[in-house]
Chains A and B, each alone.
Chain A
Amino acid sequence: MRKMLSLISSALRLSAGRTGSRVVVSARTYADFTPQATFDIKKCDLHKLEEGPPVQAVLTREEGLQYYRTMQIMRRMELKADQLYKQKIIRGFCHLYDGQEACAVGIEAGINLTDHLITAYRAHGYTLTRGGTVREIMAELTGRRGGIAKGKGGSMHMYAKNFYGGNGIVGAQVPLGAGVALACKYQGKNELCVCLYGDGAANQGQIFETYNMASLWKLPCIFICENNRYGMGTSVERAAASTDYYKRGDFIPGLRVDGMDILCVREATKFAADHCRSGKGPIIMELQTYRYHGHSMSDPGISYRTREEIQEVRSKSDPISMLKDRMLNNNMASVEELKEIDVEVRKEIEDAAQFATTDPEPPLEDLCNHIFHNEPPLEVRGTNPWVKLKSVS
């Protein structure tokens, strides 16, 4: 008996050592949790579509935990970036994504890693879902050599496989995304491209040029407008004659989705992906979401909206809380389990922040590298005629 107890306790201590948290000897085992549940989700508004995504979504326990974990990582990462920016360790532009986690995680849940994605400058969340690690992302923000772009890009220019950034020029990423979709169609691999832009960018002319060509050539492109109600400091009512962004594509079918509910986003994305893959051409999704921070770190975010508004969204529609409540109410996870995940996530972020602050900056020899791809080494003029710098690709 004693031997058995000691065996169990040593096993528990071992697992405790790995996760670094107190092991709660719970009375409930994993077998007690509901493996999956069906949830009612909001119906989407449709434009030029006969039927929309289903109004019910099935969530399994594994999926729930994975979404929770990813969203929590994203939230903590952005908050950490906020902290580091205020400490002046991150400089320049820093556009934070907290509040919009359900969009990034939901979209990724609806497509495959072999599909393609491109977004604008509020890109940290997507870099994560597309395969970037927190360490690489944070080191890129602090401009260190361990960054995902070796410190050369910064907050707005992060790249990963099948992820084309991170683009600084508002709206320019939309034609690029359609081009990626063209390549998908050309190469016939049944892949599609998700092309994101904001409510501010939705008024750019090149987006309408892209709608025209994507529709004409039936490109497998999902245009997603992340409507977080403010384009920098301008509310949608002051910027757009028509705020029905899902209808702006005119001849392109569209749907308006609750962007704070991850299941809603996931189902809508799956629906849109099916639409594209069946050769019907592009489709538009408007995700109604919200950002807690201002436009960027230099914007406190309260001059054009009230603190009450931000508080209201945080308390009523926070994506992470919503998922958490759903899982707890349906016995899909325990409070302790989720707390455990929180602690793990916190540690991961701390670890990454530590790396990001201590990793050395890129070497000066790297200054002129990577101008070209696959190019023999060339000489680059420095700041004065005697400084001749070397560039390798």
Chain B
Amino acid sequence: MDKIRNEQIRGTVKVEQFGDKAREARLRWFGRVLRRNRGYIGQRMLEMELPGRRRRGRPQRRFMDVVKVDMEMVGVKVEEAVDRARWRQMIHCDFQLLQVTVRDALNQAMDEELERDERVFLLGEEVAQYDGAYKVSRGLWKKYGDKRIIDTPISEMGFAGIAVGAAMAGLRPICEFMTFNFSMQAIDQVINSAAKTCYMSAGLQAVPIVFRGPNGASAGVAAQHSQCFAAWYGHCPGLKVVSPWNSEDARGLLKSAIRDDNPVVVLENELMYGVAFEVSEQGLSKDFTIPIGKAKVERPGNHVTLVSHSRMVGHCLDAAAVLAKEGIECEVINLRTIRPLDVETIEASVVKTNHLITVEGGWPQFGVGAEICARIMEGPAFNYLDAPVIRVTGVDIPMPYAKILEDNSTPQIKDIIFSVKKTLNM
């Protein structure tokens, strides 16, 4: 049975929620009443008190009670009703663009690809009957059964190898690692058996496989469960590595990864799974894919370029919002793909802004930021830099457990703001 959320139906036919519409109607009438002449009976009715003895129990809700709450919700004051046009504009409710969480985006992407191609299947620990350790594969086992959604024992090296072998023999597996920390157990299969095979066989043997799972820091899971593997996998030729930030990224990149005939590593982020983002109608279509290897400018700006991937993109946008109040316009680039790196987009931005800051959650040494620095230096954009490139990274330590220590181990918004001001000499 297909589960279609109400928000999805409303979004598709562009219809607002009834309650919102009713509110708009109430406020519209209220404004009309206020603009009438003094002495209009409607105005007197607003403040009217019913004669007679008050009944027992809670007093009845009157029109003004409801309207007061409405005005608070919308954020208008009684005085603003005088200006009809403005009032109408402020109370108008727009149909909401569909809000999809990253988790649901990944779920829908896998569901649609499983439906589209018989050869696609998912395997990993707890992906079937448990609905996924992080519920990303919720409902898929019920829909597709044991053949397509396979629970594995705790044998990363074994099942990663099995997934690669199945890919070699013509299927299109999605191999889920519960977190990428556990992929280290199987990294030989990812690199030596999957990534290198097409080259070693001179193109005879393709390996159309997707390795996905949460990557990087979570909350309170300590050192062994918090490593970022973007640099590790990004190092190897023969692999493609993507790192989605929002729901649209997650949907588009995972679909592209599944449709790609080569091994792709999809680095998700556990803290982003529950975050909802607006997804356009185009982003919800079954054939929506995002090309692997293209970065996106999330926010244009003129003064400094912030390059980031995964969760840190959100931090960059927040920092940009704060800096905008001081007149500093940051251009925020969402890498989307770690390998192949879209240097052209970064270079074009640096040519415009002359300042570059990379932001990542992983460790600094030999990291994504380090690679961007090297590439910028080797390219034409170097001549446009007014200051050295700055890397904002996770602290160079194993992740501690205590909250205060953990919070100070990854880049915070204030670190980004500080770096921006430093590079702009402010």
Contact = CB atoms under 8 A, between A and B. Distances in A.
Interface of A: 116, 118, 149-153, 157, 159, 164-165, 167-169, 172, 174-184, 186-187, 193, 205-206, 209-210, 212-213, 216-217, 369-375, 378, 380, 385, 393
Contacts, number: 151
B161 A174 contact: yes
A223 to B, nearest CB: 13
Given A168-B192, A179-B163, A153 B201 contact: yes
Contacts of A184: 169
Contact of B170 (A177, A178, A181, A187): A187
Given A205-B157, A212-B158, A213-B153, A153 B202 contact: yes
A391 to B, nearest CB: 9
17 contacts: A159-B204, A164-B165, A165-B201, A175-B159, A175-B160, A176-B164, A176-B168, A176-B193, A182-B165, A187-B171, A209-B157, A213-B153, A213-B159, A371-B199, A371-B237, A373-B208, A385-B379
A75 B15 CA distance: 77
B226 interface: no
A386 to B, nearest CB: 9
Contacts of A176: 161-162, 164-165, 168, 189, 193
Contacts of A150: 202
Nearest to A373: B206
A206 B165 CA distance: 14
List 7 A-B pairs, minimum CB-CB distance, nearest first. Answer: A179-B165, A175-B161, A209-B158, A183-B169, A209-B155, A176-B165, A373-B206
Most chain B beta carbons < 10 A, residue from A118, A151, A187: A187
Nearest to B160: A175
Contact of B168 (A157, A180, A206, A378): A180
B153 A180 contact: no
A182 B162 contact: yes
Nearest to A393: B203
B128 interface: no
B200 interface: yes
Interface in B164-195: 164-171, 188-189, 192-193
Contact of A149 (B147, B201, B207): B201
Contacts of B168: 164, 176, 179-180
Given A179-B169, A186-B171, A372-B262, A385 B201 contact: no
Given A167-B193, A179-B165, A371-B238, A159 B205 contact: yes
A193 B170 CA distance: 14
Contact of A172 (B171, B188, B208): B188
Interface of B: 121, 147, 150, 152-153, 155, 157-171, 188-189, 192-193, 197-208, 237-238, 240, 261-262, 340, 378-379
A180 B152 CA distance: 16
B200 A149 contact: yes
A169 B189 CA distance: 9
A192 B285 CA distance: 39
A123 B150 CA distance: 32
A213 B162 contact: yes
Contacts of B203: 369-370, 373, 393
A373 B158 CA distance: 25
B200 A180 contact: no
B162 A178 contact: yes
Given A370-B201, A373-B198, 15 more contacts: A116-B169, A157-B201, A168-B192, A174-B161, A175-B158, A176-B164, A179-B167, A186-B171, A369-B202, A369-B203, A372-B198, A372-B238, A373-B207, A374-B262, A378-B340
Contacts of B169: 116, 164, 179-180, 182-184, 193
